[in-house]
A and B are shown apart, each in its own frame.
Chain A
């Protein structure tokens, strides 16, 4: 008790100092516009002018998130909230301040969640509003759920023009299951085709929320945004925590800073934390000494102390982001606590091979991958090598978008050119005998590389990952969509009208069926109107087999594929056809076959060359021809020989690579 009083006293002193600072003369501290450049900020305020958050008792704190379908205006609303509260200046240039990455702004999605503490005076009381931004895509569902677990309420933003979309539904249920207060916000009412009334009806229909509760806003113009803040204060409860409890902090995000190491974003569910505290990770049991705590505005701003109910960051000498895993609970070293529920390590669901387009770039790409994964612990990296593509990696991602974003960041931020192979999913095999279980140290084995697919005789069942997909579409496209889902071996679980013309469909999909091109196919057959989202639905038994691709009878290791038995013919045929287009004719016939065991299920033939000789070869032609021949001879050395068949690298690439339109 005594110690606590002393801390408070210390803080008061600091606060006094900060109030004397010239920069804070005209505005209350929570209205101070903070410089955006974090280094500048750091230099200026780190020692003398630390902001004091102790003046906000728990009842004056609100922790909330904004959740929305892609492009419904989440980041724009966040910008306005930051402006209104004076967190950032109103220059008109604040476009999606929380989306820092180029890829985020380009794609209109949030990859890396950002957090900002807002200070707001409502009816004479100063409030601390912590806006916890969430990643905006299904691939990051786990991160979204962790962000949400640091909140007590959400703003559910819906586009007044587009209405409820698949991701709106998914996000709603995440918030609903977390028992959060939900404030529906209808955005973009300034648009010509906006129909707020229709959207309100959808919300009432789907989510059982009275349409009177909806706030109609235009985040772009700032219309009604102030009211959003008031509702946050009135409708969202303060966190139910106490500073008297032992420290219990949820890690809901982490970033890596080149100079300072890991910066973990935390929400305090109990106790307090400050520099010098010895803390422990409940997951790894590793201990650390806290070197800095602070709030995010949205740049890091150190404070003396963080208290239960508050949200901020912590630096404690963690060297890798894997040490600050999302969902982990931090506590005082000497006072272990029951960890917060729901922690799980990030589990990659989509795997793909990544190889340098130019082998000499290996080291550059390696270092780029390392740098990117510093900030994204959910990407798993295993070294891999292929006879054709050389040395590379097998990377695991949370989902397809996650993979694309990673690839795009490599290209944009590190100027790296890579070949990405078609993605695969992790299958499982249930071993059939006690002996095998002992040998493999477990009843199940996970198969990431198709060449490791265990033989039928060892296995009592194969399992594949499935997802529950939500599709929302205008009803005119239902026929086509049902047909599409059928070709993807999906099982219908639900179908409801959300208003007179829109239907929500729920399907159980094998994950493998949606990872390559499902979304593109759905968008194209619905003229872009259907939306799609999915959530993990666990592993289900599946009739899986291993398919070989043979060239003149010899199996091509790189092209071994795991398929559902009933799909084998279609997949095999497509692969054979694709190969036929890319394997150059040779002096003899080439049989391209798809085989299950010893049974051939598809075949294409590349006919032999019957004429391949330059017609004219005199003076000037000779130099030209020799140059060409020598290049071909050189190229021949690099061809991969499968039996007697020479296959150029490009042929593998075009078959292994993702094909957006096939």
Chain B
């Protein structure tokens, strides 16, 4: 085990984590309906070596970064928010960014220790670390493993050097593949790769070739993201000035379709719009977002969704931490946390998220899952009698059956066109139900449900 190579001074913490690392893949299906209050936990490391041309996440190029101070603030905020949420168990941890592989293993270890001390962090809980090829040499990766990470998500993005330059990445395709090899050795079955498609200049043929090259080399998890041009990025500017031609929407659609088929052929299950896994290697952490579980976000700009029971509240809140690292640190030092904004979500709001996020998964929303959030208004009540839903079913986009509500293969690719219709139906029946005074459940019921599931991660994946 890699843990054996961990320096002696960190051994106690590392030993604790070894047990977890050995936990391996866990069945990560739909919520298990635990009565206890659980949450997933996301940690945002806001620093990067360099700005990527496409990325609009909350990240900074550090000047004289004081890592001990950052570490201390993250741990302090962890303590505060865990106490506030009163969760009894953390189901998964995700270090995202920024580039968390630029942080020292000590920081990762310290944060995990803090979580373990504040609440229960199961030995087999998934702990993912995002890594960029250059900043993750083999020894560094081993250090992270020793610190407690048991899953690696590598931002390969492309296997073409000119594409990597276009994206403003700091590594070459060769370096990316080396990191992948190292990752697979250290985290067999738990190494994921991120790849981007729909790049300027990319063709269907070049994309298919890239996939053919990647698939034999990758481990059991692949995330495929269509490039989104985000305002304020240098890529956005170049494309809008006309200096870079984006592939036509229909071509990008074909790229997506080709990738889905290639991955299916290679034994992967598309368990979410952009995520593919084989041998059951689904990401517990990310699934918890799509299943509408509670999650706590730590670090600058991190988002959370949980019930702050510690404040005596009963409604789930959407919470955002202060964006800019220095200000965030000041706030943490002054108040114990850097939460900048908290918005209470109504039951209806939560249901809307359950619907919009749940349909991103291949299994969709099961009747049982839905009832946990909405005991008095079933999927059948909302969608069963709708002509529009019937039409969408007939057109082969949507399936509503004894299992629940889900997208077809074809429907998953156009989910955002289905959702406005479905959200309106939900809103209508919800309003009708509420106006009929059949308020089946009170707020505490929702809070109870909130306690149920795993955690989340933020706009962090650089």
Q: Which of B289, B303, B417, B461 contacts A587 (CB 8 A)?
A: B417
Interface 1/0 per residue, A609-651 and B, CB below 8 Å: 1111111111111110110011011011100000010000000
Is the CB of A176 closer than 8 A to any CB of chain B? no
Residues of B within 8 A of A607 (CB): 250
Is the CB of A588 closer than 8 A to any CB of chain B? yes
Residues of B within 8 A of A609 (CB): 414, 417
Residues of B within 8 A of A632 (CB): 419-420
CB <8 Å contact, B419 and A615:
no
CB <8 Å contact, B416 and A613:
yes
CB <8 Å contact, A618 and B459:
yes
Give A92-147 interface residues, CB cut-off 8 Å to B.
Answer: none
Q: Which of B249, B253, B420 contacts A636 (CB 8 A)?
A: B420
CB <8 Å contact, A633 and B356:
no
Interface 1/0 per residue, B417-431 and A, CB below 8 Å: 111110110010000
Q: Which of A612, A618, A626, A630 contacts B415 (CB 8 A)?
A: A612
Residues of A within 8 A of B253 (CB): 610-611
B271 vs chain A, min Cβ distance (A) = 13
Interface 1/0 per residue, B208-238 and A, CB below 8 Å: 0000000000000000011110000000000
Interface 1/0 per residue, B394-432 and A, CB below 8 Å: 010100000000000000111111111101100100000
- Give the complex CA separation of A626 and B304 in angstroms: 15
CB <8 Å contact, A611 and B391:
no
Residues of A within 8 A of B421 (CB): 633, 636
- Give the complex CA separation of A626 and B343 in angstroms: 14
A553 vs chain B, min Cβ distance (A) = 16
- Give the complex CA separation of A613 and B252 in angstroms: 12
CB <8 Å contact, B289 and A617:
yes
CB <8 Å contact, A615 and B273:
yes
Residues of B within 8 A of A554 (CB): none
Interface residues on A, range: 20 to 34
Is the CB of A586 closer than 8 A to any CB of chain B? yes
Most B C-beta atoms less than 10 A away, residue of A588, A619, A633, A636: A619
Given A587-B395, A611-B413, residue A619 in contact with residue B356 (CB < 8 A): no
Residues of A within 8 A of B143 (CB): none
19 contacts between A and B (CB under 8 A): A587-B418, A610-B254, A610-B257, A611-B252, A611-B414, A613-B412, A619-B289, A619-B304, A620-B303, A626-B352, A626-B356, A629-B419, A632-B420, A633-B420, A633-B423, A633-B427, A635-B420, A636-B424, A637-B424
B3 vs chain A, min Cβ distance (A) = 29
Q: Which of B301, B391, B416 contacts A620 (CB 8 A)?
A: B301
Q: Which of B228, B391, B423, B456 contacts A619 (CB 8 A)?
A: B456
CB <8 Å contact, B417 and A619:
no
Residues of B within 8 A of A623 (CB): 303, 318, 320
- Give the complex CA separation of A637 and B228 in angstroms: 27
Is the CB of B331 closer than 8 A to any CB of chain A? no
Is the CB of B360 closer than 8 A to any CB of chain A? yes
CB <8 Å contact, A611 and B458:
no
Is the CB of B325 closer than 8 A to any CB of chain A? no
Q: Which 7 A-B pairs have the closest CB atoms?
A: A620-B459, A610-B253, A619-B458, A611-B253, A619-B303, A633-B420, A633-B423
**Which residues in B have some Cβ–Cβ distance to A below 8 Å?**
42, 58, 225-228, 249-250, 252-254, 256-257, 273-274, 286, 289-290, 295, 297, 301-305, 318, 320, 352-353, 356-357, 360, 391-392, 395, 397, 412-421, 423-424, 427, 456-461
B125 vs chain A, min Cβ distance (A) = 18
Q: Which of B289, B302, B416 contacts A622 (CB 8 A)?
A: B289
B431 vs chain A, min Cβ distance (A) = 13
Given A607-B250, A617-B273, A618-B458, residue A612 in contact with residue B303 (CB < 8 A): no
- Give the complex CA separation of A620 and B297 in angstroms: 10
Residues of A within 8 A of B352 (CB): 626, 630
**Further contacts, 9 of them, CB under 8 A, given A616-B274, A623-B320:** A611-B249, A611-B413, A612-B413, A614-B228, A617-B357, A617-B360, A620-B301, A620-B459, A626-B352
- How many A-B residue pairs lie within 8 Å, measured between CB atoms? 118
A606 vs chain B, min Cβ distance (A) = 12
Given A625-B356, A629-B416, residue A619 in contact with residue B42 (CB < 8 A): yes
CB <8 Å contact, A644 and B391:
yes
CB <8 Å contact, B273 and A618:
no
- Give the complex CA separation of A611 and B197 in angstroms: 13
Residues of B within 8 A of A611 (CB): 226, 249, 252-253, 256-257, 413-414
Most A C-beta atoms less than 10 A away, residue of B225, B302, B320, B420: B420
CB <8 Å contact, A619 and B414:
no
- Give the complex CA separation of A621 and B289 in angstroms: 11
- Give the complex CA separation of A546 and B17 in angstroms: 79
CB <8 Å contact, A629 and B289:
no
CB <8 Å contact, A618 and B460:
yes
B87 vs chain A, min Cβ distance (A) = 16
Residues of B within 8 A of A620 (CB): 58, 301-303, 320, 458-460
CB <8 Å contact, B419 and A610:
no
Residues of B within 8 A of A617 (CB): 273, 289-290, 357, 360
Residue of B nearest to A611 (CB): B253
Given A618-B456, A620-B303, residue A613 in contact with residue B289 (CB < 8 A): no
Interface 1/0 per residue, A481-496 and B, CB below 8 Å: 0000000000000000
CB <8 Å contact, B274 and A618:
no
- Give the complex CA separation of A386 and B218 in angstroms: 58
Residue of B nearest to A631 (CB): B420
- Give the complex CA separation of A629 and B456 in angstroms: 21
- Give the complex CA separation of A610 and B416 in angstroms: 11
Residue of B nearest to A616 (CB): B225
- Give the complex CA separation of A617 and B249 in angstroms: 20
A619 vs chain B, min Cβ distance (A) = 4
- Give the complex CA separation of A473 and B391 in angstroms: 61
Q: Which of B227, B302, B416, B458 contacts A614 (CB 8 A)?
A: B416
Residues of A within 8 A of B424 (CB): 633, 636-637
CB <8 Å contact, B250 and A610:
yes
- Give the complex CA separation of A222 and B413 in angstroms: 76
B230 vs chain A, min Cβ distance (A) = 10
Q: Which of A616, A626, A636 contacts B228 (CB 8 A)?
A: A616
Residues of A within 8 A of B257 (CB): 610-611
Residue of B nearest to A614 (CB): B416
Residues of B within 8 A of A622 (CB): 289, 303, 305, 353, 357
Residues of A within 8 A of B256 (CB): 611
Residues of A within 8 A of B301 (CB): 620
CB <8 Å contact, B395 and A588:
yes
CB <8 Å contact, B461 and A619:
no
Residues of B within 8 A of A615 (CB): 225-228, 273-274
A584 vs chain B, min Cβ distance (A) = 10
Residue of A nearest to B289 (CB): A618
- Give the complex CA separation of A587 and B392 in angstroms: 9
Residues of B within 8 A of A636 (CB): 420-421, 424
Residues of A within 8 A of B353 (CB): 622, 626
- Give the complex CA separation of A586 and B412 in angstroms: 15
- Give the complex CA separation of A630 and B427 in angstroms: 10
Q: Which of B320, B356, B423, B457 contacts A618 (CB 8 A)?
A: B457
Residues of A within 8 A of B305 (CB): 622
Most B C-beta atoms less than 10 A away, residue of A588, A610, A613: A613
- Give the complex CA separation of A613 and B58 in angstroms: 23
- Give the complex CA separation of A613 and B409 in angstroms: 13
- Give the complex CA separation of A617 and B287 in angstroms: 11
- Give the complex CA separation of A462 and B227 in angstroms: 57
CB <8 Å contact, A618 and B286:
yes
Residue of A nearest to B272 (CB): A617
- Give the complex CA separation of A617 and B357 in angstroms: 8
